[in-house]
Chains A and B, each alone.
Chain A
Amino acid sequence: MKGDFVLSKAHLSYWLRQLRKEFDLIAPLRSVGSDIILNSVSNIHEIALDCPANIPSPKEFIFPQKEEMFKFSDKGVDTLNDSRKRVIFGVRSCDMSAVALLDRFYGGLFEDGFYMSRRRNTFFISIACNNPDPTCFCTGLGTGPYLKSGFDIQLTDLGDRYLVQMDSKEGRSLVKNFRHLFQMPRKADYDDQYEANLSSQSKFEKRITLENVRQKILAGKVDDSFWESVALRCFECGGCVYECPLCTCFNVIDWKETPDKGVRMRLWDTCMFKGFTKMAGNILPAEKKIMRTKRWYFHKLLYYPEQFGKFGCVGCGRCTITCPGRIDMATIANKLD
């Protein structure tokens, strides 16, 4: 395709080192045990290029768990905007698809300034997925393992080189100044990409079609006894919401540092708690756990398609890893499908 490039693997670290001069470079790094986490890179060689698909979602860089919004004092109010420029290297196709949906959510009728200012300063270099995790199920949702569009830069690992594809102005800007590192692609490169994509797809253990689940719920074939059994296993940890690359709920709180000075901030919140919808006078509209579990699944399975034409799930499998009660999206879908 026009505008695509090929990057020799030997040149990757040079390119990233150049980018790090201008950006806070975030990439998957090895950590305690065999953990791989997204962290600021201090040594390019520490980047875990061969890591499995499931690394923590990059959501926190554009929608942090705790974000200060305003500083207030008797003199006035300062809006705090994060202006740090970041390149996040090594995110997966599922996460890229999630970011695209987040952009639509935080844009829209009311544009969320805090999200947008972070988003504008964050550039993603995603890697087409060649070694999916056992928990991954993006193939059934069209959110991976390879993306055709909706990324800044997508790298496809072709053995000794990467096929570099760009789908945004921001993406192209990261390559522009380093043209001498990149070569023009040949047909063989695309053939190899096609093969790699097929081989990757064949590695997926889970085949889940959420559409079947949606139809079943819409047809009223899933009764409350099913959701009751799901709710029973809910530990109310909120992990599914915190880990989900698409969950957006937040709480707003004020901290008073002195009587006339303080900060207003927002924190991730979760609809899995009964207090989430609590009204003054201790009225709890969603007191029963079943209401809250249904709410989460219905939002993702029924209302997301209504609002955005897409499921509120990208098949990343993180809820599968984090849910202590083992009642994640994949498990539910498997039971219902």
Chain B
Amino acid sequence: MAGLASAFGSGAMTNSIDEIDNARVLFVIGSNTTEQHPMIGMHMLDAVDKGATLIVADPRQTQIAKFAHIHLRQKSGTDVALLNGIMNVIISEGLVDINFVKRRTENFDEFEKIVSGYSPEVAEKITGVPADEIKRVARLYATEKRAMLFYSMGITQHVTGVDNVRSCANLVMLTAHIGQPMTGLNPLRGQNNVQGACDMGALPEVYSGYQKVSDAKARRKFENAWGRKLPAKPGLTLTEMFDGALNGKIRAMFVMGENPIVSDPGATHIREAVKKLDFLVVQDIFMSDTAELADVVLPAVSFAEKEGTFTNTERRVQKLRKAIRPMYGAMPDWKIIAELSKKMGYDMGYRATHEIMEEAALLTPSYGGILHHRLDDFGLQWPCPDTNHTGTPFLHRKKFTKGLGTFNPIDFVPPAESADDEYPFILTTGRIYFRYHTATMCGRTSTLKREEPECFVEINHKDAAKLGIRNNNKVRVSSRRGEIVVNALVTDKTPEGIVFIPFHFREAAVNLITNTAVDPVAKIPEFKVCAVKIVPLLPKPGMRQTVLYDKKNDIKILLDLYEESEAEYEG
């Protein structure tokens, strides 16, 4: 969320989900909302039914794109150029909200200089999106008051992730689509409590509420509350931790409910790193790949067995209620850590989760009024500074968190890796509807497992035809870092030259081949763009093909006669 913070001063969805219904323009970049955030997708469709215009920018023909009035299929990794192109039109056609820009933002001139170099024609050359489309989108978005902008992993998981987000922020400020209901810049976050984990300071450089560890005042506040001297130097990020483990700087690691071996790019690299650790503790509800390598495994409890709060993508802090007693010998995560802390000579003294929240509220201005007993119905949206405050549906009403909003001049930088003769395809990765993250939970849900049991690679039918690949054929996908063997799914969802692999499958962990290059600011690894080659594996010897003639459509269908056969049941 570094990109948003540098522009506005805080990183979260600025507006609320139930505002979507009444928006007039929805601009969705890099998010397959109906599949990845289905319930937000539902609100978007409702808005469309009410007459809103939906604009989707995504190289893939996703489900949400099928509802779009305008679908921009920019080349992977060219989002900055696309947005700059749009902003260029807005400026040159006089659609900027001058009043807003003057009163509430800074650094516009620097920004304008850069953007002036991105005429729609230039943008077309880089992105492949026709200049006319860019102009149309610019006019639509700029002239409508109730216009919301959404983005997701498709924007952030790039080497230029932070730039992409800053560009989005520029666009929003340029048109004053912020600080009002049914506007704003809205990141759709992947996991249920990503927002909360960030808010609560599970980050190397900040305490809860994004208070910097390097800020002496903030540090003193926490030191006073906790009665311990606290380090001032920002810590290592996830990716740096594993590098640290490899070079011996990090000797021990505590992993709470995560499975970095499957989820992180360059999985082979991480496995090596984890093996080098002197001591690894993993706390989880199931035996994960990472837990297999641990020295100590601690059984934690699932969402149904504990109390606490989750913060969703619209900053809504909601109460989790205990439905059943902890299974078997498991213990809630917070209790395990508290016990550990006590053993190490620091008694945290919590008896229940609401006491932890009380402490967090005391130390975190934006959570000041967020206490368990106030969250009974549908929770509260932070900032909620005190116990009389009823929450904030949209941010930055009168001023930005940091005062003036900052325009960041951003030039287009091509992706770290681009297609070449040896690796002619661009690989993008992402989620699919029936799966979630690394499948520790949904892999144990029969329906979800049945729907997508195997990893696949989506490839455009034209590319497939060129390579002689048919649906369900096994192919080898290799990059400069590794290779996996998966089934081909021939489709027109992905455009030519691009292939898509979901990242959920441990058997074929796509992160074995993705790029370990990371965004220099946010340290988000580049999942979305990586060059690969695809080789069809030869069909089994003895397999035979037959041609079926489909009269109605006048096409010949090539079938592997006996390959498609023999089920468990023949009669």
Contacts and interface: CB of A to CB of B under 8 A. Distances in A.
Interface of A: 32-33, 232-233, 235-238, 251, 253, 267, 269-270, 273-275, 278-283, 324-326
Interface string B445-460: 0110011011000000
Interface stretch (B36-44, B190-198, B256-264, B339-347): B36-44
Contacts of A236: 433-434
A235 B472 contact: no
Interface in B546-571: 564-569
6 contacts: A232-B66, A267-B447, A275-B447, A279-B567, A279-B568, A325-B45
Contacts of B376: 32
Given A32-B376, A32-B377, A324-B45, A278 B39 contact: no
Contacts of A253: 446
A45 to B, nearest CB: 20
A269 B45 contact: no
A273 B447 CA distance: 9
A324 B451 contact: no
Contacts of A273: 447, 450-451
A324 B566 contact: no
Contact of A235 (B41, B446, B568): B41
Nearest to A289: B63
Interface string B371-393: 00000111000000000000000
B567 A235 contact: no
B380 to A, nearest CB: 14
Contacts, number: 58
Given A235-B42, A324-B38, A267 B568 contact: no
Contact of A275 (B39, B67, B450, B565): B450
B465 to A, nearest CB: 20
A237 B451 CA distance: 12
Contacts of B67: 232
B49 interface: yes
Contact of A326 (B39, B46, B453): B46
Contacts of B569: 279-280
Contacts of A32: 376-378
B567 A281 contact: yes
B34 interface: yes
B446 A251 contact: yes
A233 B63 CA distance: 9
Contacts of A279: 567-569
Nearest to B445: A267
A253 B448 CA distance: 13
Instruction: Kindly list the 10 A-B residue pairs having the minimum CB-CB distance in the complex, ordered from nearest.
Output: A324-B42, A275-B450, A280-B567, A279-B567, A275-B451, A280-B568, A253-B446, A235-B38, A33-B377, A273-B451
A325 B434 CA distance: 17
A185 B568 CA distance: 62
Contacts of B568: 279-280
Contact of B49 (A274, A280, A283, A326): A326
A283 B563 CA distance: 10
B223 to A, nearest CB: 39
A253 to B, nearest CB: 5
Contacts of A267: 446-447
B549 to A, nearest CB: 20
A282 B42 contact: no
Nearest to A270: B447
A92 B49 CA distance: 31
A89 B568 CA distance: 46
Given A235-B34, A236-B433, A326-B49, A281 B42 contact: no
Contacts of B433: 236
A232 B451 CA distance: 18
A282 B38 contact: no
B86 to A, nearest CB: 28
A33 B564 contact: no
Contact of A237 (B38, B472, B564): B38
A65 to B, nearest CB: 11
A91 B42 CA distance: 29
A248 B434 CA distance: 22
B448 to A, nearest CB: 9
B319 to A, nearest CB: 10
A274 B39 CA distance: 21
Contacts of A275: 447, 450-451
Nearest to B487: A282
**Which of A33, A235, A278 is the most central at the interface, judged by chain B CB atoms within 10 Å of its CB?**
A235
Nearest to B38: A235
Contacts of B434: 236
A192 to B, nearest CB: 38
A237 B37 CA distance: 12
A274 B451 contact: yes
Contacts of A237: 38
Contacts of A282: 453-454, 472
A211 B39 CA distance: 33
Given A235-B41, A325-B42, A278 B377 contact: no
**Which of A232, A274, A324 is the most central at the interface, judged by chain B CB atoms within 10 Å of its CB?**
A324
A233 B567 contact: no
Contacts of B454: 282
A325 B66 CA distance: 13
Given A232-B66, A281-B564, A283-B564, A251 B42 contact: no
A155 B34 CA distance: 43
A273 B41 CA distance: 19
Contacts of A232: 66-67
Interface string B44-57: 01100100000000
A238 B377 CA distance: 26
A33 B378 contact: yes
Contacts of B451: 273-275
Contacts of A235: 34, 38, 41-42
A282 B569 CA distance: 13
B567 A283 contact: yes
Interface string B424-448: 0000000001100000000000110
Contacts of B38: 235, 237, 324
Interface in B383-421: none
Interface string B226-260: 00000000000000000000000000000000000
Contacts of B564: 281, 283
B486 to A, nearest CB: 13
B190 to A, nearest CB: 18
A109 B201 CA distance: 61
B544 to A, nearest CB: 16
Contacts of B49: 326
Contacts of A281: 564-567
